[in-house]
């Protein structure tokens, strides 16, 4: 036992230099990266102004870099004007119009190559269709589509006309979709009849219809992509097919030039209250972040084939499918399916087929595929790969080592990228030719990003190995601008702990002797299931909305594949719980919030452990859910006998 412990500590101390073979062919050499750090450290604003001039085609150049007068409502490049879709499409037409922008592989294995010229034409046609159906600058469109090129086309078409998109992941339920449509007061919904994932039909239009029947008064039009070919109902006057909407539309569309601060999109994410937060991003600053992080972290260049396996419904898909790679003029793979269908070698097979050079996925996928054994990756050469990336949650050292050895053949640097929906792009991450990597460590902040770890009083935590609150002490161009319709919540959530210039990420972290960052986990009531953020309050609200539930408390416990799994403690209105009710409740939560939120376990109890002031002792519940020995002080418990009951029922 103790030997194992020592071994795992030693393992985490393994340090890997950037492979020499990698450095030799990298675009950004260590000296180039060092020069970026030096420039950023000597003049934060000037550095970002230079980057913005270098990487973005401005319609009207900016003269002011950063406006902090109304902190924490920071503005970047405010008097500049641009169009994001112009930067992702039009500017490539002369130089790489015929280059493939997207290699799309469908769930059933069908492959489609879309060139930049074709992508431009398809975006323009759809943008014209949006306008023809009443969507204009500043209007919101909710996109509820599968991970197919039309999702990217719809996003870029919104950007083209200055409309604000809000993509809702296709796995979200009808009530979640409705809440997001209502909060954004969206005029239009863009969805599909359905699609297949892992061979299973996802009935998107049915779910959308359910959402629309429960509210969504702001919706005028629903555009429906024919994808699965299943029968769906179309409400006349409101619903129209995508192919009819673009019929006869021109293949050019003058971009709407917008101010740098014009909102590009809203993306909802979970917080520690029941209500999801509409994270609002800008046009200029966000685009800059997408570009520079693709360039620096992925060393992205013309001959790369980039593949981010995320869904466009998450921030990772926004920044590293729709915006970053296209703005850099890269060729990328987009995939509709799941890693294990039809067999657990789907990813590795696709890497070989499409000669992927940069592969970016989530620890949960790595862990799941690792469990299937080395045999699957070993069927494939994987010799096109040059960089591997991970995102979404802490990666355990075992999975990191497996990724390095079995997938990267010890030749590919691993970039473990820490960032958030709110940060818009990478923040703390190794740079592939520059950084020494270490399993489980996100290493160091990017140039122009001032990350620190503070204690509760706001003093920097200097001792190696001590944990603290992860903060960013200077604004950066690609940070969120506010929470849609709720600026107070923005201030309070992200800048409420210290001051109006100190962004609080909601994670705790520590540093090692060399100063490398390690992310420890959330400090709020947010859990991370398979790399997806969920507020425990959301799950609790869903549970208490069930007729038989009086009270519920939700915590997480570690899980081999998902990272964390949900355990719900449930108090019934009457009677005792049984397996059937537990299964009903699990399904109920999945219906209310989506399958990701389905609890792993439901435990029925007569009461919850509470302090005398009535606060649920979640820390205690966490200990119980993990089956650990309770060492906390329980003397403040109002109802100590409850503890024994909870423990007994779990065994």
Binding site for ligand WTA (CB under 6 A): 269, 314-316, 391-394, 416-421, 442, 505-507, 519, 522, 528, 533
CB of 646 to ligand WTA, least distance (A): 27
CB of 269 to ligand WTA, least distance (A): 5
The answer to whether 159 and 259 have CB atoms below 8 angstroms apart is: no
How many CB atoms sit inside 10 A of residue 53's CB?
14
The answer to whether 315 and 83 have CB atoms below 8 angstroms apart is: no
Nearest to ligand WTA of 399, 585 (CB atom): 399
Stretch (H or E) spanning 577: none
- The Cα 414–Cα 351 span in angstroms is 16
- The Cα 230–Cα 236 span in angstroms is 18
In angstroms, the Cα distances linking 257 to 74, 81, 120, 252, 477 are 21, 6, 17, 15, 19
Which neighbouring-strand residues pair with 171? none
Q: Dihedral of CA 317/322/327/332: which sign?
A: positive
CB of 428 to ligand WTA, least distance (A): 8
Nearest to ligand WTA of 116, 314 (CB atom): 314
The answer to whether 157 and 254 have CB atoms below 8 angstroms apart is: no
How many CB atoms sit inside 10 A of residue 259's CB?
18
- The Cα 438–Cα 497 span in angstroms is 31
Q: Which residue is nearest to ligand WTA (CB)?
A: 421
- Nearest one of 264, 258, 291 to 448, comparing CA atoms: 291
How many CB atoms sit inside 10 A of residue 560's CB?
12
CB of 202 to ligand WTA, least distance (A): 21
CB of 385 to ligand WTA, least distance (A): 19
Q: Which token pair is 381?
A: 């050469």
Nearest to ligand WTA of 348, 418 (CB atom): 418
CB of 316 to ligand WTA, least distance (A): 5
State whether residue 405 is helix, strand or coil.
helix
- The Cα 85–Cα 70 span in angstroms is 29
Phi, psi of 433, deg, nearest 5: -95, -5
Nearest to ligand WTA of 319, 433 (CB atom): 319
Nearest to ligand WTA of 497, 637 (CB atom): 497
CB of 392 to ligand WTA, least distance (A): 5
Nearest to ligand WTA of 128, 390 (CB atom): 390
State whether residue 358 is helix, strand or coil.
strand
- The Cα 540–Cα 8 span in angstroms is 36
CB of 444 to ligand WTA, least distance (A): 13
Nearest to ligand WTA of 519, 537 (CB atom): 519
Nearest to ligand WTA of 328, 415 (CB atom): 415
- The Cα 603–Cα 356 span in angstroms is 45
CB of 524 to ligand WTA, least distance (A): 10
Q: Which token pair is 37?
A: 């750090």
Nearest to ligand WTA of 179, 393 (CB atom): 393
Q: Which residues of 435-448 are buried (b: 16+ CB within 10 A; e: fewer)?
A: bebbbbbbbbbbbb
| DSSP category for residue 300 | -
CB of 415 to ligand WTA, least distance (A): 9
CB of 390 to ligand WTA, least distance (A): 6
Give Cβ neighbours of residue 94 (< 8 Å, ≥ 6 apart). Answer: none
- The Cα 295–Cα 319 span in angstroms is 13
| DSSP category for residue 383 | T
Nearest to ligand WTA of 194, 468 (CB atom): 468
The answer to whether 76 and 285 have CB atoms below 8 angstroms apart is: yes
- Nearest one of 597, 522, 531 to 563, comparing CA atoms: 531
Q: Which token pair is 268?
A: 């909802």
CB of 244 to ligand WTA, least distance (A): 35
Nearest to ligand WTA of 188, 290 (CB atom): 290
- The Cα 534–Cα 545 span in angstroms is 17
Nearest to ligand WTA of 107, 564 (CB atom): 564
The answer to whether 105 and 88 have CB atoms below 8 angstroms apart is: no
State whether residue 82 is helix, strand or coil.
strand
CB of 520 to ligand WTA, least distance (A): 9
Nearest to ligand WTA of 188, 534 (CB atom): 534
CB of 417 to ligand WTA, least distance (A): 5
Q: Which residues of 469-500 are buried (b: 16+ CB within 10 A; e: fewer)?
A: bbbbebbbbbbbbbbbebeebbbebbbebbee
Nearest to ligand WTA of 106, 505 (CB atom): 505
């Amino acid at each position: 036992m103790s030997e194992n412990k020592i071994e795992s500590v030693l393992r985490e101390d393994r340090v890997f230099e950037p492979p020499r073979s990698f450095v030799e062919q990298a675009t950004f050499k260590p000296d180039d990266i060092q020069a970026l750090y030096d420039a950023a450290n000597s003049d934060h604003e000037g550095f970002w102004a230079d980057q913005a001039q270098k990487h973005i085609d401005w319609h009207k150049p900016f003269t002011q870099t950063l406006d902090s007068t109304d902190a924490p409502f920071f503005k970047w490049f405010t008097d500049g004007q641009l169009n994001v879709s112009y930067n992702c499409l039009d500017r490539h037409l002369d130089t790489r119009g015929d280059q493939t922008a997207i290699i799309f592989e469908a769930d059933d294995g069908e492959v489609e190559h879309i060139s930049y010229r074709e992508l431009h034409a398809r975006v323009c046609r759809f943008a014209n269709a949006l306008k023809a159906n009443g969507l204009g600058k500043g209007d919101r469109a909710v996109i509820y589509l599968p991970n197919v090129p039309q999702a990217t086309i719809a996003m870029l078409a919104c950007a083209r006309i200055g409309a604000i998109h809000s993509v809702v992941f296709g796995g979200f339920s009808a009530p979640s979709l409705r809440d997001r449509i209502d909060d954004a007061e969206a005029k239009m919904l863009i969805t599909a009849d359905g699609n297949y994932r892992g061979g299973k039909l996802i009935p998107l239009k049915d779910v959308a219809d359910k959402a629309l029947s429960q509210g969504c008064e702001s919706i005028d039009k629903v555009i429906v992509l024919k994808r699965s070919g299943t029968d769906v109902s179309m409400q006349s006057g409101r619903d129209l097919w995508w192919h009819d909407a673009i019929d006869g539309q021109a293949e050019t569309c003058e971009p709407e030039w917008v101010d740098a601060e014009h909102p590009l999109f809203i993306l909802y994410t979970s917080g520690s209250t029941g209500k999801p937060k509409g994270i609002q991003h800008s046009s200029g600053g966000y685009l800059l972040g997408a570009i520079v992080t693709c360039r620096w972290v992925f060393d992205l260049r013309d001959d790369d084939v980039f593949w981010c396996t995320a869904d466009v419904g998450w921030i990772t898909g926004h920044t590293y499918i729709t915006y970053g790679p296209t703005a850099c003029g890269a060729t990328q793979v987009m995939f509709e399916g799941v890693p294990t269908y039809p067999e657990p070698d789907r990813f590795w097979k696709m890497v070989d087929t499409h000669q992927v050079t940069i592969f970016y996925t989530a620890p949960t996928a790595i862990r799941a595929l690792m469990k299937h054994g080395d045999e699957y990756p070993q069927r494939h050469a994987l010799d096109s790969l040059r960089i591997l990336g991970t995102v979404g949650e802490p990666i355990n050292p075992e999975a990191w080592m497996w990724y390095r050895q079995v997938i990267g053949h010890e030749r590919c640097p691993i970039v473990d990228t820490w960032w958030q929906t709110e940060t818009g792009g990478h923040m703390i991450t190794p740079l592939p030719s520059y950084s020494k990597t270490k399993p489980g460590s996100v290493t160091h902040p990017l140039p122009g990003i001032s990350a620190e770890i503070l204690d509760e009083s706001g003093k920097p935590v200097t001792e190696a190995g001590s944990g603290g609150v992860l903060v960013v002490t200077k604004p950066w161009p690609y940070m969120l601008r506010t929470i849609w319709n709720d600026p107070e919540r923005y201030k309070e959530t992200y800048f409420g702990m210290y001051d109006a210039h100190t962004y609080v990420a909601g994670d705790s972290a520590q540093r090692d002797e060399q100063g490398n960052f390690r992310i420890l986990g959330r400090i709020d009531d947010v859990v991370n299931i398979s790399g997806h953020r969920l507020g425990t309050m959301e799950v609790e609200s869903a549970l208490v909305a069930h007729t038989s539930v009086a009270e519920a408390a939700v915590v997480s416990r570690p899980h081999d594949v998902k990272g964390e799994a949900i355990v719900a403690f449930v108090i019934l209105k009457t009677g005792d719980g049984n397996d059937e009710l537990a299964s009903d409740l699990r399904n109920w939560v999945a219906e209310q919030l989506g399958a990701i939120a389905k609890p792993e376990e439901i435990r029925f109890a007569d009461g919850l452990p509470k302090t005398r002031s009535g606060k649920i002792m979640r820390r205690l519940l966490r200990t119980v859910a993990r089956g650990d020995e309770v060492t906390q002080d329980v003397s403040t418990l109002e109802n100590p006998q409850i503890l024994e009951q909870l423990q007994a029922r779990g065994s």
